Chain A
Amino acid sequence: MSVLQALDVGLAFLVFAVAAWTVFAPGPFAATVGYVVYGLLLSLVWIRLFAVDVALTEAAIGSGVTGVLLIGAAARLRGAETTPAEEALTGLTRLFAAGLCLLVAAALAAVVLLLPDQGPTLAPQSMERLPETGLGNPVTAVLIAFRSFDTMLEKVVLVLGVVGVWSLAADRYWGGAPGEARAERPEPTLAFFAQVLAPIGILVGVHVFWVGADEPGGAFQGGAILAAMWMIVMMARLTEAPQASAFWLRLALIAGPAVFLAAGVAGAVVAGGFFAYPPGLAKPLILFIETFMTFTIAVTLPMLVAGPPRREPRR
């Protein structure tokens, strides 16, 4: 067994152990911290699977932004834990559930073991058509060109998520601002951190978006880092979330999917197919769409984390 294999086995055990902790931890907060650690370890696993784009997404969204969402929720739910005796399943049900889950896991494991070493693949086709898009990163090409309909609809899902979260607001807060208000005297440590980090993070976010055309990276990852920067500035209470009724905010939330859809329709007229890009113009068009998508992601993710409006709207 080589050192690399030993490392893989160790990493696999570690991921499994932390996941088990997340399920079996004594309290919800302990479980949530376990989940954040788990997200971080998962991005190491993705590196080992040579899926650097996925690793970057997992690091930014799976670990960073989700961590803020879940830890914030766990801290707010402190004291709301139900007593175990009140709701715990009986031993027999528990055993039955465990058996079922074991069965599902075993079936899936069998499928994994039965997979052929060289599976069916779309990699040659992707590489063959890659030059037509002008991009160097096949994953970005799949996202924005080859399977663009998927990606556009996925942006729509994000918008629907925001609509769902906002609709949970109490009636009198409808249209108001979510999250905490801006503080007159922000906590100095967090304020300093946010002030130093935000410019660097914005630079890195734009960098990750820009190199995504040719190297690992792209709109999702760059947008998530930008989103995180807005979140830290709001967490430091240097600024506050905009009102849900703000026109510019609603415009920003739909800018990505709207531009994407418009490009798709334009493709149907000009290039002879829905979501077809005219040859030669593909790369500038893709970057144009990606710019708006990055912007929309950077606005949408903080709104999802901020939750429903919690303050009365100002007129």
Chain B
Amino acid sequence: MSSATLAGLVGAALVGLGLYGVIADPQPLRKILAFNLIGSGVFLVFGIVARKGAAAGLSADPVPQAMVITGIVVAFAASALAVALTLRLFEETGRATLRPDAGTKPPDDGADAE
């Protein structure tokens, strides 16, 4: 088995692991981590598509590589937004939970930004 196929299998396993984390972990921060695991698993599968497209003297197809690079940056932006939401939730309620009926403390500044 080539190293590319191996990395692809790891990518598949990561998607499974991450999906489980997103479903089963109650804490928002860990859902963010798990979501990032799914993302990087998909990137790895993309990576082996690139590797198997080696041609014309290149050891990997540049197009999927470029897409993975943009993907990593976009995933970071999404994580940053998700982390900011989690921290804001924690500031507002004193808890970091996604349960809608969890206790809330009244906001300290009247109207809040959405």
B partners with A: yes
B14 with A16: CB separation less than 8 A = yes
Query: A81 to chain B: closest CB distance in Å?
Result: 7
Q: Contacts A164-B81, A168-B84 known; A105 to B12 CB distance under 8 Å?
A: yes
A262 within 8 Å of B by Cβ?
Answer: no
> Interface 1/0s, chain A 146-159, versus B by CB < 8 A?
11001100100110
Which residues, 190 to 231 on A, are CB-close (under 8 Å) to B? 218, 220
> Interface 1/0s, chain A 162-183, versus B by CB < 8 A?
0011011111101000000000
Interface residues on A, range: 35 or more
Query: B57 to chain A: closest CB distance in Å?
Result: 7
Query: B40 to chain A: closest CB distance in Å?
Result: 6
Write the chain B residue with the least CB distance to A98: B20
- Complex interface: stretch among A45-53, A243-251, A278-286: A45-53
B84 with A164: CB separation less than 8 A = yes
B97 with A87: CB separation less than 8 A = yes
B80 with A80: CB separation less than 8 A = no
A123 with B96: CB separation less than 8 A = no
Count contacts on B: residues with CB < 8 A to the other chain: 88
A5 within 8 Å of B by Cβ?
Answer: yes
**Which A residues are CB-close (under 8 A) to B6?**
8-9, 12
**Which B residues are CB-close (under 8 A) to A164?**
81, 84
Q: Which of B7, B72, B108 contacts A12 (CB 8 A)?
A: B7
- Complex interface: stretch among A136-144, A232-240, A265-273: A136-144
Bound complex: CA A20 to CA B18 (Å): 9
Q: Which of B24, B53, B56 contacts A97 (CB 8 A)?
A: B24
A62 with B80: CB separation less than 8 A = no
A150 with B67: CB separation less than 8 A = yes
Query: A239 to chain B: closest CB distance in Å?
Result: 20
B23 with A157: CB separation less than 8 A = no
B113 with A50: CB separation less than 8 A = no
**Which B residues are CB-close (under 8 A) to A127?**
56-58
Write the chain A residue with the least CB distance to B16: A105
Interface residues of A, dominant DSSP = helix
Bound complex: CA A57 to CA B81 (Å): 20
Bound complex: CA A86 to CA B114 (Å): 27
A12 with B73: CB separation less than 8 A = no
Bound complex: CA A218 to CA B99 (Å): 43
A165 with B84: CB separation less than 8 A = yes
A113 within 8 Å of B by Cβ?
Answer: yes
Q: Which of B20, B36, B59, B90 has the largest count of A CB atoms less than 10 A from its CB?
A: B20
B44 with A73: CB separation less than 8 A = no
**Which A residues are CB-close (under 8 A) to B95?**
80, 82
Query: A289 to chain B: closest CB distance in Å?
Result: 15
**Which A residues are CB-close (under 8 A) to B50?**
49, 51
Write the chain B residue with the least CB distance to A221: B69
Bound complex: CA A98 to CA B23 (Å): 9
Question: Which 10 pairs of residues, A with B, have the shortest CB-CB distance?
Answer: A105-B16, A121-B53, A161-B77, A112-B8, A87-B26, A108-B12, A304-B80, A138-B62, A142-B66, A50-B59
User: Would you list 10 pairs from A and B whose C-beta atoms are within 8 A, ordered by A residue?
Assistant: A9-B6, A22-B34, A50-B60, A66-B76, A69-B80, A74-B29, A81-B27, A89-B23, A105-B17, A111-B45
Give chain A's interface residues, CB within 8 Å of chain B.
4-5, 8-9, 12, 15-16, 19-20, 22-23, 28, 31-32, 35, 38, 42, 45-46, 48-51, 53-54, 57-58, 61-62, 65-66, 69-70, 73-74, 76-77, 80-82, 84, 86-89, 94, 97-98, 100-102, 104-106, 108-109, 111-113, 115-124, 126-128, 138-139, 141-143, 146-147, 150-151, 154, 157-158, 160-161, 164-165, 167-172, 174, 218, 220, 297, 301, 304-305, 307-308
Give chain B's interface residues, CB within 8 Å of chain A.
3-21, 23-27, 29-30, 32-34, 36-37, 40-41, 43-45, 47-63, 65-70, 72-74, 76-81, 83-88, 90, 94-97, 99, 107-114
